[in-house]
Chain A
């Protein structure tokens, strides 16, 4: 078996004595779908943060394609092929929707290429496709800052997809969406699997069921269980944690 695409080895994230992530090890294979669930404060978002470089692990290593990435700058990590959608939508508010997508879709991100037009047409073409995919066609030239919360969510999903990264981290992609929109999101996410490895964080168990991937349960910064959704549902300890919290 070849090395996994992403591997977390004994990662600890310590916020002044509070271990948000406590000795977590996890692997993700190419083209797989992983769903991370867990109660509030279980460390789900912090785990994403430590992969993408937003927080630095206190100890432990993060390997992407066999390369240690935990000390690299954020943009270098993204350049290797990981992209993330944040819990609160982060779009480039001063740019139009299509420019947001085009910037995301541009492969060559070195600054000195930005004075010319090389590669712009290809990126723009891809952006137009994704624009349609996320249903923001009519908002194409609107400033992203003027979009509604839901539209920003879609745009950000579109941007993450547009980067064509091998590993996509989606942090609560359905936050603030209704049931119909959640279903649409599930469709999109499922379509991504295979071409990309996808890691989804979500609370909504219906959405998790629709995705139907490998489920990982985090609790107090540690990996509690992993398996299929059915196995997790049958697990008494998981149930106890959720009920105990509720």
Chain B
């Protein structure tokens, strides 16, 4: 095994990780804030993919991709907000029930996609400027993968900026730290929940665009990424952007590097084993949120 191959796999790991970041970030944020996991998150990725397909059919030019990204971001965000208001907010403090109800939503969305777009899926043509690649010290880096990496970094920075510098970001941080106190001080907790959920869905919509660039968008495309995205959330710790990013990198690299030695299915088993073993030592995940008011029974 030569160095070029190894660095190639490393690069692959980073690019897989950036997909997981896009898929898991929204999950992690709303998990940290509301302690709920949205099982339909994978189908929001799928929704983003189909929105990208529609947008790029309407605007075929070289900049169609950016139209698609805006389209998917807004569409998925609006859908996420709707889902939060109509279902998730009705099930507060029942995280396991939320899990099941959103799974129901995911089944309905998959079947709806099958009925609307057909079971075989649709393909988007990536714009020409994403073809080709960069050759760096004998290593071929496809432009498409670089674009995905840059998108993920952009989303991370954007998210951090929203949380750090905007008023709504301040409110999100307040509710994250101490929900009852924030509520008592007049923060509209419901609005904050809804905003974060919608923002997370919007980011997943962007993830869907990326998926569409990599392969055909099928009704079950979300399912193939989402279980790993869940593991990223668990590994990352409660709702931390940094934790989620590190966890996505860890899992992306494990997946890419273990595939040097074993096939894809064993790589999956190894990833799961790693998470279980990791939790033996750090049950709180990579970044632990410390709080004195832990567990109110």
Are chains A and B touching in the complex at the 8 Å CB cutoff?
yes
List residues of A whose CB falls within 8 A of some B CB.
15-16, 88, 90
Q: Does B263 contact A (CB under 8 A)?
A: no
Are A90 and B297 in contact, with the CB atoms below 8 A?
yes
* CB nearest neighbor in A for B297: A90
Q: How far is the CB of B280 from chain A (nearest CB, A)?
A: 16
Question: Are A15 and B297 in touch, CB under 8 angstroms?
Answer: no
Q: Give the residues in chain B near A90, CB-CB below 8 Å.
A: 297
| 5 A–B pairs (Cβ distance < 8 Å), ordered by A | A15-B290, A15-B292, A16-B290, A88-B296, A90-B297
B53 nearest CB across to chain A (Å): 48
CB distance from B67 to the nearest CB of A (A): 47
Inside 8 A of A15's CB, which chain B residues have their CB? 290, 292
- Distance A16 CA – B289 CA, assembled complex (angstroms): 11
B residues lining the A interface (CB < 8 Å): 290, 292, 296-297
A90 to B297, CA, bound (A): 7
Report the minimum CB–CB distance from B217 to chain A (whole Å).
46
Considering the complex, give the chain B residue whose CB is closest to the CB of A92: B297
With a CB–CB cut-off of 8 A, which chain B residues contact A88?
296
Distance between B107 CB and nearest chain A CB, rounded to angstroms: 31
Q: Find chain A residues with CB under 8 A from B296 CB.
A: 88
Chain A residue numbers with a CB within 8 Å of B290 are 15-16
Bound CA span A223–B292, Å: 22
Query: Which B residues touch A16, using CB under 8 A?
Result: 290
* CA of A16 to CA of B288, assembled, Å: 12
In the assembly, what is the distance between CA of A90 and CA of B290, in Å?
22
Bound Cα distance from A246 to B290, whole angstroms: 30
- Closest chain B residue, CB of each to CB of A15: B292
How far, in whole Å, are A76 and B89 apart by their CA atoms in the complex? Answer: 40
Closest to B296 in A: A88
Residue of B nearest to A91 (CB): B297
Nearest-neighbour CB distance to chain B for A60, whole angstroms, equals 19
Report the separation of the CA atoms of residues A90 and B296 in the bound assembly, to the nearest whole angstrom. Answer: 9
Chain B nearest CB, measured from A223 CB (Å): 21
Tell me the complex Cα distance, A88–B292, Å. 14
Q: What are the 5 closest A-B residue pairs judged by CB atoms, nearest first?
A: A90-B297, A16-B290, A15-B292, A88-B296, A15-B290
In whole Å, how far is A213's beta carbon from the nearest beta carbon of chain B? Answer: 28
For A16, give the chain B residue with the smallest CB separation: B290
Residues of A within 8 A of B297 (CB): 90
Residues from chain A with a CB closer than 8 A to the CB of B292 are 15
Distance to closest chain B CB from A206 (angstroms): 29
Nearest CB on A from B294, distance (A):
9
A15 to B290, CA, bound (A): 9
- Bound complex: CA A88 to CA B180 (Å): 16
Within the assembled complex, what's the spacing in Å between the Cα atoms of A16 and B291? Answer: 10
CB distance from A125 to the nearest CB of B (A): 28
- Closest Cβ neighbor of A90 among chain B residues: B297
Shortest beta-carbon distance, B240 to chain A, in Å? 16
Once the chains are docked, how many angstroms separate the CA of A196 from the CA of B49? 68
Question: In the complex, what residue of chain A is closest to B291 when comparing beta carbons?
Answer: A15
Q: Which residue of B lies closest to A49 (CB)?
A: B292
A200 to B286, CA, bound (A): 39
Measured CB to CB, the closest approach of chain A to B247, in angstroms, equals 22
Q: CA A15 – CA B296 in complex, angstroms?
A: 18
Closest CB in chain B relative to A16 CB, distance in Å? 6
Q: In the assembled complex, how far is the CB of residue B24 from the closest CB belonging to chain A, in whole angstroms?
A: 27
Q: How far is the CA of A88 from the CA of B296 in the complex (A)?
A: 9
State how many angstroms separate the Cβ of A8 from the closest Cβ of chain B. Answer: 20
Nearest to A20 among chain B residues (CB) is B292
Closest chain-A Cβ to B9's Cβ sits at a distance in Å of 38
Name which residue of chain B comes closest to A55, CB basis: B292
Quick one: closest B residue to A93, CB to CB?
B297
Docked complex Cα distance between A191 and B292 (Å): 34
Q: How far is the CA of A16 from the CA of B290 in the complex (A)?
A: 9
A90–B292 alpha-carbon span in the complex (Å): 17
What's the nearest-Cβ distance from chain B to residue A162, in Å?
19
Residue of B nearest to A88 (CB): B296
Give bound CA distance, A130 to B39, whole Å: 47
How many Å from the CB of B180 to the closest CB on chain A?
A: 13
Complex Cα distance, B297 from A19, in Å, reads: 25
Bound together, the chains give a CA A56 to CA B226 distance in angstroms of 37
Expressed in whole angstroms, the Cα–Cα distance for A88 and B293 within the complex equals: 12
Smallest beta-carbon distance A145→chain B, Å: 11
CB distance from B200 to the nearest CB of A (A): 28
Give CA–CA (A16, B296) in the complex, Å.
21
Would you give the shortest CB distance from B293 to chain A, in whole angstroms?
A: 11
